[in-house]
A = this chain, B = another copy of it.
């Protein structure tokens, strides 16, 4: 420590004396181990770069003092925060949960920590949130869904922080991309129902932008396949979050306006489960009279009665891949590609 810093009545211009936090610092550990601070730092970060004897002494000093490195200081000096930010509309929907969980786990395994930001389904908080995130100089930012405000995109690009957009494919990614095509899902579901003999399809769709794109693709394909006798596909919109309740209400509304419907595409498994429950309450035989297909393959889908046919989206793979992208980039490993289409699959069960 600086010997000249202790208060003395010297005639020299005496100025702003400073705090001294009281916490244990690397300097304390170094002193106890009888080495320079930088050596202690090396013992902790690159143990191979110091002699075994020194390593031993530093480790002991750490144990004795209970020293925990200040990663804020380390991050400031090294320009690596080992922090990754994730932005989700909300974690309350089980859709992104899986991704967030996989992210946290994969990151933790490599010594990174996750910072979580929720925008709500409105984009208003997006910009403020972005500043709060960029200000912490994370090593990467994972966006679920696309970042929308032009201002936000600009700031992200200017920040020079690796960005992974997820849960969608777009022609103009900010940086990296892990997702699947919502259009293809809508089309695939229509074809699937057609292949199973359904001819009068309908849909219950969430109002978020991605669900609407799926639904549009579904309607278009259904019309093309002649599954929309009245010229268009009856649709009920359900505001987020999609619930069992909106599923029940959705079926009721659908039957009122189009009683002859023989298949329903629900934009989430929650909605589909609601449809199942409402159908049961009305004595409609799902699987025979009515086909129901959901989206998400949530844990309960296979246990529903009847078991729910659904579009499986692998949130875990998305989270893991996104984490890998960022870790590889941060640690200077070459990455083969910046875009990853993880696809989707239709899980066939009894409800169709």
Contacts and interface: CB of A to CB of B under 8 A. Distances in A.
Total copies of this chain within the assembly: 2
A255 interface: no
Given A91-B100, A113-B133, A277-B304, 15 more contacts: A66-B155, A68-B131, A68-B135, A73-B76, A83-B115, A91-B97, A91-B101, A104-B118, A108-B117, A113-B132, A114-B117, A115-B116, A243-B303, A244-B300, A244-B303
A280 interface: yes
21 contacts: A68-B135, A70-B137, A71-B135, A71-B136, A72-B72, A72-B136, A90-B101, A91-B101, A91-B104, A92-B101, A104-B116, A108-B118, A108-B132, A113-B117, A114-B115, A114-B117, A115-B115, A245-B300, A248-B303, A270-B300, A280-B305
Interface in A77-97: 79, 81, 83, 90-92, 94, 97
Interface in A42-70: 66, 68-70
A98 interface: yes
A98 to B, nearest CB: 7
- Interface range on chain A (Cβ under 8 Å from partner): 35 or more
A72 B137 contact: yes
Contacts of A76: 70, 72-73, 76
A104 B85 CA distance: 13
